[in-house]
Amino acid sequence: MLNVLLIGAGQCGNRILDAVNKESFGGGKLSKYYSWQKFPTRVETIAVNTAVNDLKELKYTKAKDRIHIPYLHGVGANRNVGKQCFIDNKDYVMRAVAERGDFDVAFIATSTAGGTGSSFTPLLVSALKERYSFPIYVFAVLPFREEGTIYLQNTAFCLKELRESGAEGIILVDNQFLRHLGSDIETAYDRINEAIAERILFLFKSLDSEMMMVTDLGDFKTVMTSGIRLATVGFSRGDKEISVKSAIRNSLSSSGLLFSLDAYTESSRAMIIIEADKKYLNIDDITTEVDRLTTGAGHVFKGILVRNKAYPSVLSVLAITSGKELDNLYDAAVDAVERERRKKEDAARQVESMMGKIGKLEAQY
Ligand SMILES: Nc1nc2c(ncn2[C@@H]2O[C@H](COP(=O)(O)OP(=O)(O)OP(=O)(O)O)[C@@H](O)[C@H]2O)c(=O)[nH]1
Ligand SMILES: [Mg+2]
């Protein structure tokens, strides 16, 4: 059995973890008190945050799985404060991980944009890498673009540090791209988190199953570590009308992916895992669709899970080579850093000029 460590850092990461726990407990609000997590494999979950209120808000995550790092109420999107806070509390966090035994793989979910998760995660990955040899994958949630310059600049630096941290792969999830999932922000967050949770649970299940065509943790690593170590995932469920062929296509299209990408031209290596009853597994259709992807992506690992009476579900994992959306994001982030710098200089000039004017005067009473 696979031993998995799943950490949610900062508010966004905590909520994604909670969505995973919701699914694994079966959804009932009180189920965490009497039920066991029905993970397909052994999964230990830890939510870590500086803001106690964010942790209290979680509905499906057990109290013992919530780690509060005392720092008032979050670090207010300041990654420098966040980094220092992690360094001061590193031993505490590492002890919480060590108490949970051995792992084969770890996943960490975080936003790239806020202060806590985006600054803790690269340092946490490095700290885990110093002590353990298991691979670490990060679900990195990108902000809505209109959330402002600080979130954009945090994103650029967080992604840079994640790539330097030793993480085997970074799985991009883009709030902006997925905003259509909800008509208001809270609903969008919930739907996006559910989408991520669904993919995470499917991945856990498939990596731990006996498959007809085998894909395993090693293949997953080969896909994730190829190219620039950025990836994304897609998912689609078939039904009476949606065949395995359509489900594969949907999982590779904008309706199934978590990040805007042309799967056929912008990915290098991929993995496709299909679960279905035998009668829905038309091998010719599967081969045609996989070949279509192979033409652009180079190598595609296939996994097939046979499950009685199940309509086809398809998970795709795509390593990203390049991408229009990535370029746009980095351009916006560079612009954001510039704008922040100019604002800071303007403010400094303003203060200097005010002080200059006052400096020559004396208070009159
Ligand atoms: N998908 C998704 N995104 C979220 C959620 N909550 C916050 N975000 C996004 O996460 C970013 C803000 O990061 P948070 O995780 O709230 O920040 P934090 O890590 O708690 O850091 P501080 O609050 O600054 O200490 C913004 O881009 C939000 O849009 C959520 O539940 N789901
Ligand atoms: Mg917060």
Measure Cα distances from 201 to 10, 16, 96, 275 in Å.
Answer: 21, 12, 23, 13
Q: For the sheet containing 3-9, what is the strand order?
A: 66-68, 42-49, 3-9, 105-111, 136-142, 169-174, 230-237, 313-320, 267-276, 300-306
Task: Read off the CATH number of the domain in which 230 is found.
Answer: 3.30.1330.20
Assess whether 187 and 230 both reside in one domain: no
Name the domain boundary from 283, 300, 320: 320
pLDDT at 85: 94
Assess whether 245 and 119 both reside in one domain: no
pLDDT at 73: 66
Alpha carbon distance 275, 277 (integer Å): 7
Residue 217 lies in a domain: no
Alpha carbon distance 45, 312 (integer Å): 28
Q: Write out the two tokens for 237.
A: 């469920």
- Tokens 């402002």 appear where? 148
Q: Write out the two tokens for 245.
A: 């062929």
**Ligand 1 midpoint to CA 83 (Å):** 17
Q: Who contacts 107 (Cβ-Cβ below 8 Å, separation ≥6)? A: 4, 5, 6, 7, 136, 137, 138, 139, 200
Name the domain boundary from 180, 207, 234: 207
Assess whether 231 and 312 both reside in one domain: yes
Residue 251 lies in a domain: yes
Assess whether 33 and 74 both reside in one domain: yes
Alpha carbon distance 118, 126 (integer Å): 13
Assess whether 23 and 140 both reside in one domain: yes
Is residue 67 within 8 A of residue 94, CB to CB? The reply is no
Q: What are phi and psi of 255, to 5 degrees?
A: -75, -20
Low-confidence ranges of the chain (pLDDT < 50): none
Helix and strand numbers (H, E) in the chain are 12, 10
Residue 162 lies in a domain: yes
- The pTM (predicted TM-score) of the whole model is 0.93
Q: Which residue has a Cα nearest atom 12 of ligand 1?
A: 114
Measure Cα distances from 125 to 69, 145, 152, 204, 273 in Å.
Answer: 17, 26, 22, 20, 27
Report the sign of the C-alpha dihedral through residues 198, 219, 309, 249, in that order.
positive
Alpha carbon distance 117, 12 (integer Å): 8
Q: Who contacts 126 (Cβ-Cβ below 8 Å, separation ≥6)? A: 165, 166
Assess whether 178 and 36 both reside in one domain: yes
pLDDT at 240: 87
- Tokens 């994958």 appear where? 137
**Ligand 1 midpoint to CA 116 (Å):** 9
Measure Cα distances from 321 to 156, 325, 327 in Å.
Answer: 17, 12, 12
Assess whether 46 and 183 both reside in one domain: yes
State the residue range of the domain holding 182.
3-207
Residue 343 lies in a domain: no
pLDDT at 260: 95
Residue 334 lies in a domain: no
Query: How crowded is residue 347: how many other Cβ atoms within 10 Å of its Cβ?
Result: 10
Assess whether 33 and 176 both reside in one domain: yes
**Ligand 2 midpoint to CA 12 (Å):** 8
Number of domains in the chain: 2
Assess whether 194 and 245 both reside in one domain: no
Q: Which residues line ligand 1 (CB under 6 A)?
A: 10-12, 15, 50-51, 54, 74-77, 111, 113-118, 141, 143-144, 147, 151, 175, 189, 192-193
Nearest CA among 271, 251, 246 for reference residue 261: 251
**Ligand 1 midpoint to CA 140 (Å):** 11
Assess whether 168 and 261 both reside in one domain: no
Residue 360 lies in a domain: no
Alpha carbon distance 236, 255 (integer Å): 8
Q: Which amino acid is at 8?
A: G
Residue 219 lies in a domain: no
Q: Which residue has a Cα nearest atom 29 of ligand 1?
A: 143
Pocket test for ligand 1, best of 12, 147, 150, 172 (most atoms within 8 A of CB): 12
Atom number of ligand 1 nearest to Cα 77 = 24
**Ligand 2 midpoint to CA 36 (Å):** 28
Is residue 318 within 8 A of residue 325, CB to CB? The reply is no
Name the domain boundary from 144, 177, 207: 207
Q: Which residue has a Cα nearest atom 2 of ligand 1?
A: 189
**Ligand 2 midpoint to CA 54 (Å):** 6
Assess whether 55 and 161 both reside in one domain: yes
Assess whether 158 and 305 both reside in one domain: no
Residue 342 lies in a domain: no
Strand pairing category for 267-276 and 313-320: antiparallel
Strands (E), 143-219: 169-174
Query: How crowded is residue 28: how many other Cβ atoms within 10 Å of its Cβ?
Result: 12
